[in-house]
Structure 1
Amino acid sequence: MAFQPYTPKPITDVFTADTDIDRRKCQRTVPMKVLALGLGRTGTASLRTALKELGFTDTYHMMSASVENPPDCLMWQDAFAAKFDGQGTFGREEWDKLLGHCQAVCDWPAVAFAQELIEAYPDAKVILTTRDVDSWHASTAKTVDWRANDPELKLVAQWDWGAGLYQPMLKRFWDTFFKGDFKKYGKSVFNDYYAELRATVSADNLLEYRMGQGWGPLCEFLEVPVPQGKKFPHTNDTDGFVDRCKARNRAQMMNVAFRALVMGGGVIAAVISASVTFHRLGGRFSAFRA
């Protein structure tokens, strides 16, 4: 849903630590220096941590919208509407509002706007994290494709503030970028995307990077010192991704239950609380709904 108005985080959302910054009222405060435009599940979370270690603060990532500041999703929806639906405009001014606190950006949904970001920030260096397409597809199927189609997230999004902002944006991005069928089109989209970026960015402003190469190539490209005595970060593996998402669902369910209790909705609160307990005991959510 594009052009959805900003609404503050409910004071009853005590089980999540999200902020509620309205980016539409923000502006650029630091220069954009790095566009890390590799697809998610190519080490983007590790790269984000590495860039922060190197002083590129902040580095935007899907987690910025999913678990840090969900109202960002409103502007991402505006960007989708402008590019894919012809509704409104989304140019440098809007990117500066959404990403103005960041010196770098990586991961999805930013990759859906790779060309627009390159045009908006022509002086930024471009990094393409990559990996074998088959291993990437297998990893993504178990993580982000699962999350984009997670029935539990879709359900809690009907009531929870953060999930209600994030789930529609994630679904819009996923279906748009992968033509409505990740399993069928994922590999071809991957290959076409990387070919297009290689053809777009000049070789002297492009670093193709694979996890495992360490600090050396990255620091040389960015012209910064190699951190001494620090291993290159490794974060967001498959198991950790799924566990964090499920924990996020539980916390948002608790937000809904608490709000219902505060507002006097005892029956709703009891149902949601029961669902949380049911999951913790190992039950199947689909069975609970049936």
Structure 2
Amino acid sequence: MKVIVAGFSKTGTKSMNEALTTLGYKVYDFLEHFWYHHDEWEEILTRGGSVQMFKRMYKDVDAVVDSPAFAFWEQIHEAYPDAKIIILTRNEDSWLRSLSYQVEELNEWNMFRISRLFTPIGRKFMKHLEKCSAACYGVIMPSAWYDATLNNTLTRKSFRQHNFYVSQKAPKDKLLVFKIQDGWEPLCKFLETDVPDIPFPHKNVRGSAIKEAAEENPLMQTIIQEVKILFGNDAAQVSIELEAVHGKK
């Protein structure tokens, strides 16, 4: 482990994932945490983890970003004390709007609505998402019938507390406070690597990560495939009927 990105979701984690990947790092993001280490994170979120557990989980990984890893940056750093830490920052109001939009996009994704009710991996993913969201940033994720909601006060409080804690507790010689708008120069200087001759990536614009994951990520493709196996061409109609049952307009 070389880099721990301790920034909240929606502070530019997908852009940072792409940037670190461009620089040659093997990166685990939210979907990889679930796909490869679901059982370990289930234990960590329920009963707590250990230094040895994190060492086993990420021994072949260069960098971690997003939930739930960002909330456990300190424990991961205990396992990998030479790793550098990046705290991603963003205007709080802009961040909350972006998070709210992402939640809306997830609520409106028909495949997820169906999968969380009827498919094994969809139900498993939903439970993981619920635990991660409650532990990390005060989001109440969907049950079988109800969509995700935000408690704005608790979410803002979690955001402020987390950023302050990282800024105070992380070793100053290993910490970079970074905004995506800062671009390659400060990041590459911090990581002691050459600056790529390409623009700094800007990913997940207005929730596009969900669409991109559905097209590219094996987990999301598996969820979609399970839905298609169960319902075939009737999947869209099933979603409409579910909306009618629990009162969505």
Amino acid at match of 1:60: Y
Point out where structure 1 has 5 or more consecutive residues left out of the alignment: 1-31, 84-89, 259-268
**Residue number among 176, 189, 196 corresponding to 2:158 in the alignment:** 189
Name whichever structure is richer in helix by fraction.
Answer: 2
Aligned residues: 234
Q: What's 1:97 paired with?
A: 56
CA shift for structure 1 position 159: 3.6
Cα distance in 2, alignment partners of residues 113 and 129 from structure 1: 15
Match of 1:207, SS state, is: strand
Corresponding residue for residue 216 of structure 1: 185
How many angstroms apart in 2 are the aligned matches of 1:98 and 1:195?
27
Q: 2:40 aligns with which of 72, 75, 79?
A: 75
TM-score normalised by L of structure 1 = 0.70
Q: 1:152, 1:285 within 8 Å by CA — same for their partners in 2?
A: no
Match of 1:60 in 2: 28
Question: Cα offset for 1:112?
Answer: 2.1
User: Unaligned stretches of 5+ in structure 2?
Assistant: 141-149
- Partner Cα distance (1:129, 1:233) in 2: 15
Q: Aligned to 1:200, which of 169, 172, 176?
A: 169
Deviation at 1:197, TM superposition (A): 0.5
Q: Which residue number corresponds to residue 109 of structure 1? A: 68
Q: Which moved further from structure 2: 158-167 or 122-131?
A: 158-167
Alignment of 1:157-176 (within 5 A): 157-176=116-135
CA deviation after TM superposition for structure 1 residue 245, in Å: 6.7
Could you tell me how far apart the structure 1 residues matched to 2:206 and 2:124 are?
A: 24
CA contact 2:5–2:87 (8 Å) conserved in 1: yes
In the TM superposition, residue 278 of structure 1 has moved relative to its aligned partner by: 2.6
Aligned 8 A contact 2:14 2:204 in 1 = yes
Q: CA RMSD in A?
A: 3.0
Which residue, 258, 273, 283 being the options, matches 2:232? Answer: 273
**Are 2:187 and 1:230 equivalent residues in the alignment?**
no
Give 3-state SS (helix, strand or coil) of 2:125's partner.
helix
Tell me whether 1:252 sits opposite 2:223 in the alignment: yes
1:216 positional shift: 0.3
Q: Which residue of 1 aligns with 2:145?
A: none
Give, as a single letter, the amino acid of the residue that structure 2 aligns with 1:236.
N
Measured at CA, do residues 33 and 239 of structure 1 come closer, stay the same or move farther in structure 2, by a change above 3 Å?
A: closer
Taking only the aligned residue pairs, the percentage that are identical comes to 24
Q: Given that residues 38 and 107 in structure 1 are in contact (C-alpha distance below 8 angstroms), is that contact kept between their aligned partners in structure 2?
A: yes
Larger Rg: 1
